[in-house]
Chain A
């Protein structure tokens, strides 16, 4: 269980409050207008930002002061998920060897296995620049597999992809999440992504992170806040 207990987060001008929890292994969509604090929420869970007050916990473990690399969390960003001058083997190797040494005979099969799992067999020696956008996303997901952490955060990583490719990537994410049994939080501003991918939806509006609601009732019986968000869209 990932618990956000009376968290208050500085948004530079306003604050964001969160008091909710997520069950392990769930797939959750984080919806809300831009600037509401969706990415900020992920930054706090990943450890890139410290909340003003409150507590963050994974099971019995208090995470509030734990540095990012020691948290049970892996994250995919909007871009810059891979170092462009390193080949995929080196990029993925960093997940296994944070001291930056070349992946050895022990690690290479694991790296190649992870690449195969996301449909990138035999591309270990390619640099990210020679791959398509979809392949780059797959490579970043292969690294998530190697990190094997029980919480996966996705900060709109497929925003730049077309609708068909995006649906394909959501399937890969789903497979990766199920393989790891990881709790997955995905930020998006597109309700269709939420429908296609998530089991639960969390709405972030007006300085508040609303508690998760299962997808079905979320869309069939929309809350007042969600109706306002849709109204904003047009």
Chain B
């Protein structure tokens, strides 16, 4: 649907909604002099933790991915699928799980304390790194798996028939795969961690572990220093643009690693390597599954403690997720082509907190911005979900155009008939998958809502955070379990909906 009025309107709205807030931030920014000394520390911390997170995630992903490539075992497919799950896992839920395992009263410290060893502290830099690795290790593993699967089977059979040694195999196959995928993975994870807000909010904080996004939030919420928030927004914008340009240069098209899992027979995983590989797989599995298990176990006890305000917050979250999904899918329908995809990618170089700040400044002359918390959250989440939705829908939409575009033209089908009779029915599956992803992301998002919310307008992730903040850990665990169920439920429902309708 290139250049239909619908697409043009959608593109212009997208541009206005991202550039508008940015322009307001630019106008409002009071010059760099308005920065507090702590803000420079925040900038340094942001870059440093993103760098460490990226390096750690990729370095740990290499042995895990290699083990998954060369070993076959029951449950392997499930584990590979689970590697995709953190993407739709609400950050606050994962943080709850990590605290249950690594926190002061967590499992790890129970063991260490029992052995008389020094306890670990989850708050600060290493907590932030832990959470970032938790989210991005699976992403890096999936990207590497995709890379390995791209190796033609013939080359592997050739290597076997030549009787290549392990060292030679490393040099001709595994080494090149890692060298090809790792730079892209590093950059993608670095970019993701640059805009880290919820993790820094819950596990960081203080002058030594504050990201720029978190500093924006603090400037707005605690100091109500709009000028400084705007200046910080400017810095975050520069970071995002720089990282976005870097990402475009380094990453290949399979950047998000939503790959298939094709069988690949390898014989180099025998002998003692079975044990080391097994160890890596077990460690990764435990690292990902134990925190989630802890959330479920504690949450089941906490469900009894859910009060009315948590239920109301859950209702808000469902409404926000629904509105975000509808809005995002309308955009996606209009912009599902290569140009639209670029536009959407450009739009997310603007971070949610910068957008939030800009929208706050835009709304302030007209309404009390706090009353707009939920609509603004829905809007920002729709924007943030759009590149992912387009990444899923566009390839198949383009294929549909290639297959049937000429038939459509020859019949003279109207745009509406094409959309209703052909486009939507043929793309049910990717549309359902994308809608599920966007709904889950929106449901679990703890970002711009924190900037705007007052006590009456919390979403469920924010409610979990507030319960944690007031040390009602049981109730927080119950609310986190509810949030997990809602996010997964929304994803499964929409994704299934697309698949069933196709059959």
Q: Does A164 have its Cβ within 8 Å of any Cβ on chain B?
A: no
Q: Tell me if A48 and B414 are in contact (CB < 8 A).
A: no
Taking CB atoms, residues of chain B closer than 8 Å to A147 are 411
Interface residues of B in 406-459 (CB under 8 A from A): 406-407, 409-414, 416-418, 420-422, 425-426
A47 — which chain B residues lie within 8 A by C-beta? Answer: 409
B418 and chain A: residue at smallest CB distance: A100
Any A CB within 8 A of the CB of B154: no
B223 at the interface (CB under 8 A from A): no
A98 — which chain B residues lie within 8 A by C-beta?
411-414, 417
Q: Which of A134-170 contact B (CB under 8 A)?
A: 147
A46 touches B406 (CB 8 A): yes
A74 at the binding interface (Cβ < 8 Å): yes
Of the residues A67, A80, A83, A95, contact of B409 by C-beta under 8 Å: A67
Q: Work out how many contacts link A and B, with CB atoms closer than 8 A.
A: 57
Interface-centre pick from A47, A80, A100 (highest chain B CB count, 10 A)? A100
Q: Say if the beta carbon of A187 comes within 8 Å of chain B.
A: no
Contact A99 B417 (CB under 8 A): yes
Asked if A179 is an interface residue, CB under 8 A from chain B, the answer is no
Question: Could you say which of A67, A94, A95, A101 has the most chain B C-beta atoms within 10 Å of its C-beta?
Answer: A94
Q: For the complex formed, measure the closest distance between the CB of A52 and the CB atoms of chain B, giving whole angstroms.
A: 20
- Looking at the assembled complex, report how far the CB atom of A201 sits from the nearest CB atom of chain B, in whole angstroms: 25
Per-residue contact bits, chain B 72-85, to A (CB 8 Å; 1 contact, 0 not): 00000000000000
Pair A48/B403 contact, Cβ less than 8 Å: no
Tally B residues with Cβ within 8 Å of A.
18
Distance in Å from the Cβ of B397 to the closest Cβ of chain A? 15
**Alpha-carbon distance between A43 and B406 when the two chains are bound, in angstroms:** 9
Contact mask for chain A residues 65-95; partner B; CB cutoff 8 A; 1 contact, 0 none: 0011110011101001101011000100011
A95 / chain B contacts, CB cutoff of 8 Å: 411
**B401 to nearest A CB, angstroms?**
11
Measured CB to CB, the closest approach of chain B to A91, in angstroms, equals 10
Q: Does B404 contact A (CB under 8 A)?
A: yes
Bound Cα distance from A77 to B409, whole angstroms: 13
Residues of B within 8 A of A81 (CB): 407
- How far is the CB of B63 from the nearest CB of chain A, in Å? 45
Asked whether A94 lies within 8 Å of B411 as measured between CB atoms, the reply is yes
Nearest B residue to A70 via CB reads B412
| Chain A residues closer than 8 Å to B416, beta-carbon distance | 99-100
Bound complex: CA A100 to CA B410 (Å): 14
Interface residues, chain A, with chain B CB atoms under 8 Å away: 43, 46-48, 67-70, 73-75, 77, 80-81, 83, 85-86, 90, 94-95, 98-101, 147
